[in-house]
Structures are given as C-alpha cells and as structure tokens.
C-alpha cells in the first residue's frame, strides 16, 4: 500500500504550454475521518487523465482542494504553467478560476434567474464588462459572445436556449458549457456524464478530446463509467481511502490486482 | 393640488428607497433590513451640517452621501460574507444603533427635541412652486434609478448580480470576485440611500428620532415584496398600493370618522404586516411575478447570425 508515492511521475518537460499541478503532503480530514491524505502527486502531465476509485475515496474533495473551495489542513498545491508557478492554496476560488483552473460540478448547480443564454454570457463576461456604471449595451461584446455561444448551441441541443434550463440533463450540460466558455487551461470534471443522456455524453467527450488536441487544455475526469475512462484517458490515477494507490496507463490500472480488489471487485462482484 | 405635493414627495422617497432595495435584495440577494439606518445617516448628517453649521445644502448632500457610503463600506466589510440571516440581523441592529445614537447624542442631534428647520435645496418663485419643483426633482431621481435598474436587465453587470443572488459559490467558481462585487454594490446603493435621506430631510424639514424607527424599513420592504422584488417596477407598484393608497387616497379623499382617524396609522402598519404575510404565503414573487423573458430576443439573435453568414 505504500506504493503510492513511488508511482509519482516526474512532470516531464514543461514545454509548449505544459501545465501541471503538484500536490505536496496534502491532508484533509472531517472530524476524525481522513478524507484526503496525499504525500506527493503530479496531475496534468497528460492531456486527459482519469481519477477513479470507490465512493468516499476523496476524489471530489481532492478536486475541491485544488480549486480551494475546501481548504486543506496542511500541505501545498502548486500550479506550474508557462506563466510561472502559483501556490493555489494561497488564492481564492475565484482567482483560481481566473487562472484557468476550473471545475465542473457533480451535483447539479444552476442560476435560477438566468436563462441558458444569459448563463453562458455570464461566463464570457469579464471584469471589464462587470462594473456597476457599465449599463450601456456593449455591441462588440454581445456579438463576439453570441458567436461563441452559438457555436456550442449548434452542437448541443437545448429545448429553448432563451429560456431556463429545464431537465437535469440540460443543467448538467449547461454547467459543462459554462466552464468551457471560461476557456480553462486545466479542467476538473466531476462525474460529467452522471445525468447526461448517452449521446450528449459522447458529444461532450468528443469536444473534450478535440479541445485537448487543439488547445493547451488539460483535463482530469472523475467518472464511474469505467469504459469511458479506459477509452478516453491517457493516464489514470486510482484513489481509495484518501490516498492515490496506483497510477498508470489505462491498461496497467485495469489489469492491476489492487484495483480489482478495492474497486472493481467491490462493485462488480 | 398643493395639499398633494408633500405626500407625493414622501411617496417618491419611498419609491427611490424601494428601487435601491431592489438592487440590493431583489438582484443581489443582500438582505438589508437597515434601510432607515442608511437614509437616516444621510438625513441627520444633512440636518446637522445645514442647521448647526450653516453649510450649503448641496455640499451637505455630498458630505452626507459620502459619510453614508463610508459607513456602509465598513459595515459591508464586516457582514457581507455572512449568511443571509446574519446580514438581516446585522443591518437591523445597525439601524437600531443609528436610531439610539440620534436619540441620545442630543448635543449633536438635539435628540427628541428635534432638529430644524432644514430648508429646501433650492427656491424657485413662491413656496408652492418650489415645493412642486422639488417634487419634480425627486420624481426625476426616481426615474433615473428605475432607468438604471431597467438597464441592468440587459448588461453583464445585471447578470452578475443575479448570479450572486442565485448561487454565489457557483458564481465564484466561474471566476467572479463575488465579495468585492457585493461590497461595491452595497456601498454605492447605501450611499444613494444616504442621498435620498438627505433630500428627505428637506421634505420633513423638522428632524426627530421618530423618523428613524424601523417603520420606514418595513414600509419599503413591504412595497418591494408586494410589487415583486426581482422586477424593476415592483417597488413602484408596491409603494402605490401601500403608501399611495393610505397616505394619499385615504388621507386626502376618504372621509374617515375622526375617532377612527387617530387609529389609522396603527391600522395601516397592521394591514401592511398582514399584506406581507399574505404575499409571502400566496405569491412570494410579488404581484408582478417572475421576470418574463422577452420573446423578441431569440429572433434578433437569429437575424444577426443570418446577416453575418
């Protein structure tokens, strides 16, 4: 079980828009229960990485620690990018999002007063537009923003883009699109397919693969649909009881006895 | 006509405060139960400066606005990252503190004896004309506030404020510095409440602590909630149906028996309270309801696409 730390890879050569997250000695416990206990971990050395593990393994908490929605009890999380190194644990969640480290939500989150289009426009607007004295229509911004939004709306079907998101699936999809419009550099996806119809899931994953190829986006996915993980991810981290127990290519992880015992065995027996 | 001017001034003041509360509560979700505290600081700052120190009204208005803004900024810094319930209690407590300070610090405010007379900001012609002109200024101010609130429907800042009200955590996760935005909005709108209070000093002319009881806060709240807190015109409709109905229609045009007339203010507050309960029970979004989406917006976007294609 102590193999976790030795499995840590070196970051590789941080060239050409390479971004990595380094977690050093990161601990989080709720009450007496340790939820996350990571000695050393490098994320983001590959375009799309998977984070798998049984329920309660601490996967979502790990993502929340990265975006600093949850503060660690101790430890450092560093974000290395061509722009320099930032210690994420010293920044607010909104500042981290502005750096390009963005997380989609597992549980459905929405703005009930905003239509789908308004919600997407919210994502695209920046501090430049959001000032209390800016009450004149900004045609340039609207045109650019609507173009960008329409690109996604052509791809993904909403019942009524100028109304509110109706179904759970629409809200889930909207959540992902909001994050994509932020043009993240490192995207954390917490169970993106839960609640989405299969065809939408396929389209989302297609877009994700294309984005990681065409832009400098890196993705970390938590997913219980393991077929999706084996198919999509270049590298997989297996987490249980707050620790990263195993890392490797999908085929390595898939064939590993520990994973079978701790996770596949537990759920597939 | 002239007997109507002063009640109409009061009504317009309520509408102005109601629109500002719409920006705070209806748009951003800041539960400000201390409206009268902020307008009261503006009112008494103006009164003290004009009456005790003979400072011109215009300058006093600016100082009052700045002082209210500063107080709101400091209070906001302390409370705006707390839960809604805590913000509500804190602002209510704040306005109570203002009330008691004004009552007890009589070396400055004349306490219950009263501070007066606060003149009108300007004079045109005779008294009646000046009163009417002042009313028009207040109406123009209310119009400007309504215009601002209406513009927010269409611009990024308005969407941002709604997002903070609906789901602040989600808004932060999209990179919005929500606390800073709330602090700025709270400071600016409370400063505006101070400015309205400053003009209200001139409407009342004679300032007594009784003007700073929570009654005013409740009246503004009932007007906004009755009309529709998320709607631009909510405060206007609500104010007309509450203050307008009582202070103008009944007071001016209904022949209330004298023994009953004395009870009218109490009955009025009871009815307002009852109204608030009924609205919350049966129509929590207020008479105007939820914001409707404009059906013409979608085709517009379609047209734009076609033109470019």
Say whether A69 and B173 touch across the interface (CB within 8 A).
Answer: yes
Say whether A178 and B174 touch across the interface (CB within 8 A).
Answer: yes
Query: Which residues of chain B make contact with A147, given a CB cutoff of 8 A?
Result: 308
Distance CA B100, CA B77 (A): 23
Give span(s): CATH 3.40.50.300, chain A: 3-7+26-110+168-268
- Of the candidates A108, A65, A80, A25, the residue with the CA atom closest to the CA atom of residue A218: A80
H or E stretch covering B6: helix B2-21
* A185, A20 contact by CB (below 8 A): no
Q: What pLDDT score was predicted for residue A264?
A: 66
CA distance A211 to chain B (A): 19
Q: What pLDDT score was predicted for residue B51?
A: 95
| Ordered structural domains, chain B, with CATH | 2-308 (1.10.3470)
Which stretches of chain B score pLDDT less than 70? 1, 291-309
Q: What pLDDT score was predicted for residue A266?
A: 53
Q: What pLDDT score was predicted for residue A120?
A: 96
What is the maximum alpha-carbon separation in chain B?
75
Query: Which residues of chain A make contact with B174, given a CB cutoff of 8 A?
Result: 94, 97, 102, 122-123, 178-179, 182
Q: Nearest Cβ partner of B298 from A111, A125, A162?
A: A162
Say whether A95 and B174 touch across the interface (CB within 8 A).
Answer: no
Which stretches of chain A score pLDDT less than 50? 1-16, 268-269
Radius of gyration in angstroms for the set of CA atoms belonging to chain A, rounded to a whole number: 19
Half-sphere exposure of A148 (CA within 13 A, CB side): 18
CATH class of A3-7+26-110+168-268: alpha beta
Say whether B173 and A118 touch across the interface (CB within 8 A).
Answer: no
Q: What pLDDT score was predicted for residue B309?
A: 38
pLDDT digits (tens, 9 = 90+) for A220-237: 999 988 889 999 999 999
Across the A:B interface, residue pairs with CB atoms under 8 Å apart total 113
Percent pLDDT > 90 in chain A is 62
Token pair in block for residue B142: 């209310």
Chain A touched by B298 (CB under 8 Å): yes
Q: What pLDDT score was predicted for residue B292?
A: 58
pLDDT digits (tens, 9 = 90+) for B91-141: 999 999 999 999 999 999 999 999 988 998 888 888 899 999 999 999 999
Q: Nearest Cβ partner of B174 from A122, A132, A150?
A: A122
């Amino acid at each position: 079980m102590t193999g976790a730390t030795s499995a840590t890879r070196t970051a590789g050569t941080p060239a050409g828009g390479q971004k990595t997250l380094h977690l050093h000695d990161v601990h989080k416990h709720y009450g007496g229960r340790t939820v996350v206990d990571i000695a050393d971990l490098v994320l983001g050395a590959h375009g799309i990485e998977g984070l798998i593990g049984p329920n309660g393994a601490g996967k979502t908490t790990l993502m929340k620690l990265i975006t600093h929605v949850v503060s660690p009890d101790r430890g450092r999380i560093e974000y290395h990018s061509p722009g320099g190194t930032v210690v994420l644990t010293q920044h607010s969640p909104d500042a981290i999002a502005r750096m390009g480290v963005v997380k989609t939500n597992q549980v459905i989150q929405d703005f009930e007063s905003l239509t789908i289009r308004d919600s997407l426009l919210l994502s695209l607007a920046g501090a430049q537009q959001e000032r209390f004295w800016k009450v004149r229509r900004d045609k340039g911004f609207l045109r650019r923003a609507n173009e960008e939004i329409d690109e996604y709306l052509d791809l993904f079907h909403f019942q009524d883009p100028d109304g509110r998101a109706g179904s759970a699936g629409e809200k889930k999809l909207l959540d992902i699109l909001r994050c994509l419009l932020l043009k993240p550099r490192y995207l954390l996806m917490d169970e993106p397919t839960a609640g989405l119809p299969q065809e939408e899931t396929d389209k989302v994953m297609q877009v994700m693969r294309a984005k990681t190829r065409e832009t400098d986006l890196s993705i970390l996915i938590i997913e219980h649909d393991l077929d999706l993980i084996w198919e999509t991810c270049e590298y997989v981290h297996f987490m249980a009881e707050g620790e990263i127990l195993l890392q490797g290519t999908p085929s390595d992880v898939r064939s590993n006895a520990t994973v079978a015992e701790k996770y596949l065995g537990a759920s597939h027996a | 006509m002239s007997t109507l001017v002063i009640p109409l001034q009061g009504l317009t003041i309520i509408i102005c405060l109601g629109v500002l509360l719409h920006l705070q509560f209806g748009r951003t979700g800041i539960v400000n139960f201390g409206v009268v505290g902020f307008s009261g600081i503006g009112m008494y700052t103006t009164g003290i400066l004009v009456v005790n120190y003979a400072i011109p009204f215009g300058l006093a208005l600016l100082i009052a606005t700045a002082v209210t803004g500063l107080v709101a900024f400091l209070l906001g810094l302390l409370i705006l990252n707390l839960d809604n319930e805590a913000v509500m209690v804190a602002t209510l407590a704040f306005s109570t503190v203002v009330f008691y300070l004004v009552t007890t610090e009589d070396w400055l405010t004349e306490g219950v004896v009263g501070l007066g007379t606060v003149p009108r900001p300007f004079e045109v012609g005779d008294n009646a004309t000046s009163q009417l002109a002042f009313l028009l200024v207040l109406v123009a101010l209310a119009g400007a506030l309504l215009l601002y609130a209406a513009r927010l429907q269409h611009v990024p800042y308005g969407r941002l404020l709604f997002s903070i009200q609906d789901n602040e955590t989600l808004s932060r996760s999209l990179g919005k510095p929500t606390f800073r935005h709330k602090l700025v909005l709270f400071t600016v709108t409370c400063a505006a409440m101070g400015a309205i209070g400053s003009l209200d000093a001139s409407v009342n002319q004679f300032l007594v602590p009784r003007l700073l009881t929570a009654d005013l806060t409740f009246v503004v709240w009932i007007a906004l909630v009755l009309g529709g807190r998320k709607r631009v015109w909510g405060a206007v409709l609500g104010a007309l149906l509450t203050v307008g109905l009582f202070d103008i229609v009944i007071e001016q045009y209904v022949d209330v028996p004298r023994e009953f007339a004395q009870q009218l203010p109490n009955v009025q507050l009871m009815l307002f309270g009852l109204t608030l309960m009924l609205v919350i029970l049966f129509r929590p979004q207020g008479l105007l309801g939820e914001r409707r989406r404009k059906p013409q917006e979608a085709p517009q976007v379609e047209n734009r696409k076609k033109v470019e294609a």
